[in-house]
């Protein structure tokens, strides 16, 4: 796995919001399930959660409560017989700064479409990103969109 940092800006609709550029330490794991991700620190619980950046849009996503990971299907698009509750997840219902979830159907794929992610809500909140060197950035993304699955 190699690590890199990339710049992130918040989008409000189709307009770039007036926010600072934030340095996110990103990871590019090798193998069949490649995805670009970084670590989110939930400042209210001090838990670290993986944030996956979509390469085809300005969006990123995290797993939310009741997220299920399915596998074992031989066909594309079916859930398969095996499943497990995703841990850790972003617990937005218990975040004091999170907005109410807004219905938002979304889908993402990674690993050459070997993993298909579907979601149903968007939540806005304040996030904390910390690099291995200890550099941190806090952003308020109440104007942006990100999806919890």
96 touches 113 (CB < 8 A): no
Strand bridging mode 47-53 / 60-62: antiparallel
Q: Residue 147: what pLDDT?
A: 45
- CA distances to 46, 62, 100, 118, 145 from 105, rounded to whole Å, are 28, 14, 15, 7, 12
Query: What would the DSSP string read from start to end of 93-128?
Result: GG-TTPPPPEEEEEEEEETTTTEEEEEEEE---EEE
CATH number, domain with residue 119: 2.40.70
| Number of domains present in the structure of the chain | 1
Which residues 6+ apart lie within 8 Å of 63 measured at CB?
Answer: 49, 50, 86, 89, 90, 148, 149
137 touches 129 (CB < 8 A): yes
Q: Give the residues across from 42 on adjacent strands.
A: 47
Give residue 31's domain range.
Answer: 2-148
CA distance 20 to 22: 6
Q: For each of the chain's 149 residues, which pLDDT tens digit applies?
A: 333 333 333 433 444 444 455 555 566 665 556 777 887 777 778 888 888 887 777 778 888 888 888 888 887 767 778 888 888 888 888 888 888 988 888 888 776 667 778 888 888 887 776 666 666 666 555 333 344 44
Q: Residue 9: what pLDDT?
A: 38
């Amino acid at each position: 796995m190699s690590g890199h940092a990339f710049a992130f800006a918040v989008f409000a609709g189709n307009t770039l919001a007036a926010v600072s550029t934030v340095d996110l330490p990103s990871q590019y794991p090798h193998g069949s399930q490649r995805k670009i991700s970084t670590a989110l620190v939930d400042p209210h619980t001090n838990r670290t959660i993986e944030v996956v950046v979509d390469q085809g849009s300005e969006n990123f996503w995290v797993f939310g409560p009741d997220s299920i990971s399915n596998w074992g299907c031989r066909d594309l698009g079916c859930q398969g017989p095996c499943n497990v509750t995703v841990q850790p997840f972003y617990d937005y219902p218990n975040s004091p700064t999170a907005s109410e979830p807004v219905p938002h159907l979304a889908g993402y794929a990674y690993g050459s479409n070997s993993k298909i992610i579907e979601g149903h809500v968007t939540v806005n909140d304040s996030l904390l990103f910390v690099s291995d060197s200890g550099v941190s950035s806090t952003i308020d993304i109440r104007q942006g969109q990100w999806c919890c699955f």
